[in-house]
Structure 1
Amino acid sequence: MADASAPPDSIPGPAHPADARPTGPLPAVAWRPVGAAVLVLGVLLTATSTRYGYHRDELYFRMLEPGWGYVDQPPLTPWLARTFAELFGDTLLVLRIPATLAHLAAIVVIALVARELGGRAGAQALAAWGYGTAAIPVAFGHTLLTSSLDLLMWPAVLLCVIRAVQRDPRWWLAAGLVTGVALYNKLLVVALLGGILLGLVVAWPWRTLRRSAAPDRWPLTTPWPWAGAVVALLVGLPNLVFQATNGWPQLAMGAALGENNAADVRSEMWLFQLLTLGPPLALVWLVGLVWLWRRRPLLRFLVVAYPVLLVFTYVAGSQTYYATGLLSVLFAAGCVPVAGWARAGRRRAVVVALVALNAVVCLVISLPLVPVAVLGETPVADINSAAQDAVGWPEYVRQIADVHAALPAEDRDRTVVLTQNYGEAGAVDRYGPALGLPAAYSGHNELWEYGPPPASATVALVLTEAPGAWGDRFEECAPRGRLDNGVGVDNEEQGVSILECRSPAGGWAALWPELRHLD
């Protein structure tokens, strides 16, 4: 993965004036190793895309009606899920195509970041293969999540910003365009922009530029970043209007996630930084941090932006992976000096061996390679929560259908399924019609907005982890079974009770407000 013709830019050292602003043409794009990584990962992700089953978020996306936004997210990822299903068929293979394409595109973007920083074929190959087979990128490339698209959009924004700062300020317009599109996926891209802005304020290398007689005009005193901001606002305006006219539901959702997740996020996020790409590749992005600060003074804002995002992650307490898009770019930066260091045959072998070892471990953890029958006996299910969330849905729905079939015939037409979360509701929506199940309702996130069951529905099959809490909500409730995925995977649904409840107290209109929850 090293390039014998690469310059000896291998070990972080003091900044040189000539390094302030790169001159000359960029290295050629290493299409062969980068394309090979794209091809191999594309085949691997496609071949494994139908193993296990739907993730709970994917089941949820299928249920969401078209809209400019939802209480828990902007519209892009549900729109992709719905559009691909309508165009190519409502199957798991089709549903995951956008995630696969996003991961493959991100591989190319990460390689291009390494090229933008002076990395030749060896650095680009290391960036493509290392990132392409890393733990979190592969997991998000396998499953269609909102974070799957973020891992493409954030590095794409940063690539444009790097080009704008180093070479051509007109690239701020491209950064604004990508940011505007990213707003339709998550508003979190604003946190990335905040980190970039703070980095440009506190880390711009005025002294280095003066010594090198290079232009020292601060980017924020030129019109281009502000023109890029206008582009981002114009592109993202419909989504921002939706948020503003609906009370900024994304902020309420973030607060709810923080309330539920903060303790775990704040304790786990530090180790997560080392595990995101895998421990061997953590060495590379740590080298990238030091190398950017000492050898690429114009890009020191990236070094500052990283702790800014860590602070944001800690304070928000919502999810651990918020800094992953920037961390991937730091990895691409580290590939340049590491590839230069690994020009010698023995060093090259060490780097290749570490990347290969990291790839094997990450692929086993992040992809459904372990047979589902033994998944519960391995540590994979405990490490990869996405694997847990993709197991058991057809079995759970069949068990609910068995309870429904046991109801008196006169009750079946006035029965609904009431679930505790959107994953269960989505599973009933996906598998229930073929088994004769009625519609599913839930108070979870956007599904609460779709309203309560009809007044004619006087019987509810309630899925709950707290069966004792439902006695006051209905005139009568009785347990009728428990969900069991049959393979011993301890996911959120395993062991959940199925209750047969009759006559909601005060009617659905009175009960429905109690059932709303954001998490």
Structure 2
Amino acid sequence: MTRPTVPAFAVRPVVTVALIVGAVLTALSGRYGYHRDELYFLVAGHHLNWGYVDQPPLTPLITRVSTTVFGDTVMGLRVLSALSCVATVIVIALIAREFGSDRRGQLLAAVCAAVSGFVLGVGHMVSTATYDLLAWMLIGLFAVKLLRTGDGRWWLALGLTIGIALENKYLVVLPVAALLVALLIVGPRRVLRSWWLLAGVTIAGLIALPNVIWQFQHDWPQLKVAGGISDDDGTENRIMFIPLQILQLSPLLVPIWIAGFLRIWRTMPWARSIALAYPVLCVVVLATGGKSYYALPLLLVLVAAGCEPTLRWIDRHRHQAVVALVLAAVTSAVFTLPILPASAADFVIPVNKEQGEQIGWPRFAASVATAWEQVPAAQRSTATIVTGNYGEAGALVRYGPGLGLPTPYSPHMSFADWARPPDTNTGPVLLVEIERTPIFESHFRSCEQVGTVNSIVSNDEDGAALVLCRQPAEPWSTLWPKIRQFY
């Protein structure tokens, strides 16, 4: 069978688009402030380990490296995430090339990636999804190369990438499993009959092994976290699965990824498993109650495939195409990047709540400091601050020392492992609760609300209750396991 060849790579235009994206992300990286997850990663980076309750070790490690090299600031933290986004744009253009796109098609693929809300959103800040997206795109690139060439040695590149991705987030098993199922259904199955596949699996397993051992030694806490996500958000995730995918990627890119799916299915029998992998993945994510963005990377592969047929439409409707891409860029930027004044962010938060999670943390810490002042000075040496989630604890670690606050504690995720209040802390307890919870407060004596967090936007912390209790109901060593939260 004659294998399709690929055009030359359009290095200059593709890299230019990618660098423009990187410049925009860098210019905006210092606006608003840290995201709650970033505050968590900053603390996790100072507790480096082979695993954490809710994630493998790679993102906290990258966070530590970025702040060490580029400075312990919001901008310094986000340098490597911006570079990851630049690389993602280039890889998406390379995928288009594998599908036979010439210079113009590759450029269009890079532009589509650059105007995608999902790409911009995860590139703007540090999250596991930031580096997960780049890994998924590389897996897509190597998978297409494997199918196009039939060269089993690409399993080695796939194994290496999958192994590294598993040290960042276990979600990578979903698209890989979807692709394998699709290969079994539509082929070409011969790529599965290769010793190179076994070698690739071995490489992936060896790289992922340290975190797997850590999870085993700690009774698989990440399964508890995943179960909590599904139980808590599963119904909403299923209802919003399709609408959010369309909104997060960009509604204006829908015709392109549909064209990509049809192009592969109708004219590229060697790549049909790539197209089928997307609906297979959607079924799996819907069945497990996962989040909509879990399937978005495979949509970007379909976008790359759809650029070539889209060019024929663009040639006939040049003006409309330019308007559509500009509109996609503007809407994606407004909804995913900190372009609006912080006071106007409520306009976009209903669509993208992550915008609100980057606003108001210094104000939050100041509110906690005001409540802390109500603890009698003579009792502060044995008093304790306990927050309901890791974002709040991370904010107090970051801003609390400048406000005279003691070390905060939180039973949420890995914060519960890093430190717990000593049993000698028998004095007052200041609780930070998004909503007052009688069951939670029953672990403490004589609780009274002494303050409320008033954020400038409608984020999770807006209206949070600051509750002062006389003392814990039992020693912290006994109490801590009872109030531990895995979600």
Distance across 2 between alignment mates of 1:245 and 1:305: 34
User: What is residue 258 of structure 1 aligned with on the other side?
Assistant: 230
- Quote the offset at 1:172 in angstroms: 1.4
Measured against aligned partners, the alpha-carbon deviations of 1:10-38 in whole angstroms (never above 9, x if no partner) come to xxxxxxxxxx75344x2121122212211
Single out whichever of 41-50 and 31-40 deviates more from structure 2: 31-40
SS at the partner of 2:454?
coil
Distance across 2 between alignment mates of 1:309 and 1:372: 36
Distance across 1 between alignment mates of 2:438 and 2:152: 62
Distance across 1 between alignment mates of 2:299 and 2:38: 26
Identity across matched positions, percent:
39
- Quote the offset at 1:121 in angstroms: 1.2
Distance across 2 between alignment mates of 1:514 and 1:58: 27
Measured against aligned partners, the alpha-carbon deviations of 1:309-349 in whole angstroms (never above 9, x if no partner) come to 1112112213221111111111101112212443x3x4233
Single out whichever of 360-369 and 240-249 deviates more from structure 2: 240-249
The answer to whether 1:62 aligns with 2:42 is yes
Equivalences for residues 91-106 of structure 1 within 5 A = 91-106=73-88
Distance across 1 between alignment mates of 2:207 and 2:358: 34
Instruction: Identify if the C-alpha distance between structure 1 residues 471 and 234 changes in structure 2 by more than 3 Å, giving closer, same or farther.
Output: closer
Letter in 1 for 2:266: R
CA contact (8 A) 2:375 2:428 kept: no
Single out whichever of 499-508 and 389-398 deviates more from structure 2: 499-508
Which structure has more helix as a fraction of its residues?
2
Instruction: Identify if the C-alpha distance between structure 1 residues 247 and 511 changes in structure 2 by more than 3 Å, giving closer, same or farther.
Output: closer
- Quote the offset at 1:169 in angstroms: 2.4
- Quote the offset at 1:469 in angstroms: 4.1
Instruction: Identify if the C-alpha distance between structure 1 residues 371 and 281 changes in structure 2 by more than 3 Å, giving closer, same or farther.
Output: same
Equivalences for residues 5-404 of structure 1 within 5 A = 21-24=2-5, 26-64=6-44, 65-167=47-149, 168-204=151-187, 218-342=190-314, 344=315, 346-376=316-346, 378=347, 380-404=348-372
- Quote the offset at 1:505 in angstroms: 0.5
Measured against aligned partners, the alpha-carbon deviations of 1:100-120 in whole angstroms (never above 9, x if no partner) come to 111111000000000111101
Letter in 1 for 2:303: F
- Quote the offset at 1:356 in angstroms: 1.4
Distance across 1 between alignment mates of 2:338 and 2:328: 17
- Structure 2 gaps of 5+ residues are none
Q: TM-score, normalised by structure 2?
A: 0.96
Distance across 2 between alignment mates of 1:176 and 1:46: 32
- Quote the offset at 1:142 in angstroms: 0.6
Measured against aligned partners, the alpha-carbon deviations of 1:226-269 in whole angstroms (never above 9, x if no partner) come to 22111211222212222233322222221111011101100001
Structure number with greater Rg is 1
SS at the partner of 1:463?
strand
Letter in 1 for 2:156: L
The answer to whether 1:459 aligns with 2:428 is yes
Distance across 1 between alignment mates of 2:223 and 2:448: 38
Distance across 1 between alignment mates of 2:231 and 2:337: 30
Distance across 2 between alignment mates of 1:31 and 1:291: 25
Instruction: Identify if the C-alpha distance between structure 1 residues 250 and 469 changes in structure 2 by more than 3 Å, giving closer, same or farther.
Output: closer
Distance across 2 between alignment mates of 1:284 and 1:470: 50
Instruction: Identify if the C-alpha distance between structure 1 residues 218 and 501 changes in structure 2 by more than 3 Å, giving closer, same or farther.
Output: same
Q: TM-score, normalised by structure 1?
A: 0.90
Letter in 2 for 1:481: G
SS at the partner of 1:386?
coil
User: What is residue 6 of structure 1 aligned with on the other side?
Assistant: none
SS at the partner of 2:237?
helix
Instruction: Identify if the C-alpha distance between structure 1 residues 409 and 98 changes in structure 2 by more than 3 Å, giving closer, same or farther.
Output: same
Letter in 2 for 1:40: I
Distance across 2 between alignment mates of 1:195 and 1:389: 32
SS at the partner of 1:479?
strand
User: What is residue 475 of structure 2 aligned with on the other side?
Assistant: 507
Equivalences for residues 420-499 of structure 1 within 5 A = 420-457=388-425, 458-464=427-433, 465-466=435-436, 468-469=438-439, 471-485=441-455, 487=456, 489-499=457-467
Distance across 1 between alignment mates of 2:186 and 2:454: 55
Single out whichever of 392-401 and 94-103 deviates more from structure 2: 94-103
CA contact (8 A) 2:70 2:77 kept: no
Measured against aligned partners, the alpha-carbon deviations of 1:81-128 in whole angstroms (never above 9, x if no partner) come to 122222332111111112111111100000000011110111111111
Measured against aligned partners, the alpha-carbon deviations of 1:21-72 in whole angstroms (never above 9, x if no partner) come to 5344x21211222122112111110111111111110011111211000110
Letter in 2 for 1:176: G
The CA RMSD measured in Å over matched residues stands at 1.6
Distance across 1 between alignment mates of 2:448 and 2:245: 46
Letter in 2 for 1:194: A
Letter in 2 for 1:286: I
SS at the partner of 1:461?
strand
User: What is residue 7 of structure 1 aligned with on the other side?
Assistant: none
Single out whichever of 224-233 and 383-392 deviates more from structure 2: 224-233
Letter in 2 for 1:197: L
- Quote the offset at 1:451 in angstroms: 4.3
SS at the partner of 1:185?
coil
CA contact (8 A) 2:187 2:270 kept: yes
Letter in 1 for 2:481: P
Letter in 2 for 1:186: K
Single out whichever of 291-300 and 458-467 deviates more from structure 2: 458-467
Instruction: Identify if the C-alpha distance between structure 1 residues 165 and 398 changes in structure 2 by more than 3 Å, giving closer, same or farther.
Output: same
Letter in 2 for 1:146: T
Letter in 2 for 1:282: V
Distance across 2 between alignment mates of 1:172 and 1:353: 41
